[in-house]
Amino acid sequence: MWTEERIGDVAVARYDNPPMSYFTDAAVDELEEKLDAWSRAEDVGAVVLSGRDGRFITHFDVEAILRSQVAPDPLIDAPTRSRRVQGVLRRLTTLPQPAIAALGGDAMGFGFELALASDLRIGQRGDHRYGLPEVRLGIIPGGSGTTRLTRLLGAPRALDLILRARVLTPEEALAQGLVHELADDAEERALTLARRLAELPRVAVAMAKQVIHRAEDLPLESALAFELEGSFRSKQAPEAATAMRAYLDVPLSERRRWLDAERVANDADD
């Protein structure tokens, strides 16, 4: 159900499970295998997660969830599926490379949980819906969506979205801060961003991602300790010396323009 294409240093993984693009237990297995490979791949600088034919991931297979009532997990092992899914999405968060979700179609339930576990989310203009509507089905998000949404928006806004089972248009999701930006073609825009990120020093990107995710809700002293460790590690990477020497080779009068190049490039894309 997952197919992968390498475009330069970017791994583009597309999910396709017609006709409704529901996620399944087998798809969890496939995603875990890909995460294992990406975490070891020195030739992958960024990852894009996308869908096909105007869909992302509609939500998890409801029939599979319902079957767990008929044949529930043993009490000692339960809940195996939710624990497994949380672990896989945690792997996405801790992946050294930045992960970008290209929401080119509906992304609800697990589909949106996967997006929330990604580092950047690109919505696509069109008749799509994003959100966590599980309460309407008599369940709640169990793949980390409840927790991630609360950390992203705060408890009051998370309560509004989850208790009311609200699903949002791309424009509404952008206004709520659930996606970082909108594009006419989410995958194309995600690929552009991924290529830029893949060009940056890899250790610095990995350390920045790790520190932000790990320190987000820690007490200040603990968060600063993670920052110190990440800063030290990035400075020791050979690529850091190369990047700093490149900056020092720029004439003093041109250094601001050199540092400003990324902003100018992003403005050109917009």
**Quick one: pLDDT at residue 196?**
95
pLDDT digits (tens, 9 = 90+) for 164-204: 999 999 999 999 999 999 999 999 999 999 999 999 999 99
Domains of the chain: 2-198 (3.90.226.10), 201-269 (1.10.12)
Which residues in the chain come in under a pLDDT of 70?
70-79, 264-270
Phi and psi based region of residue 165 (left: phi greater than 0; alpha: psi -120 to 50; beta: remaining) = left
pLDDT digits (tens, 9 = 90+) for 111-122: 999 999 999 999
C-alpha 145/C-alpha 161 separation (Å) is 11
Question: How crowded is the C-beta side of 20, counted as CA atoms within 13 Å?
Answer: 9
User: Which tokens sit at 118?
Assistant: 């990604």
- CA of residue 137 relative to chain centroid, distance: 25
Instruction: List all residues 6 or more positions away from 158 whose beta carbon is below 8 Å from its beta carbon.
Output: 146, 149, 150, 152
Phi, psi of 58 (to 5 degrees): -60, -55
C-alpha 192/C-alpha 197 separation (Å) is 9
Locate tokens 């767990």: which residue? Answer: 68
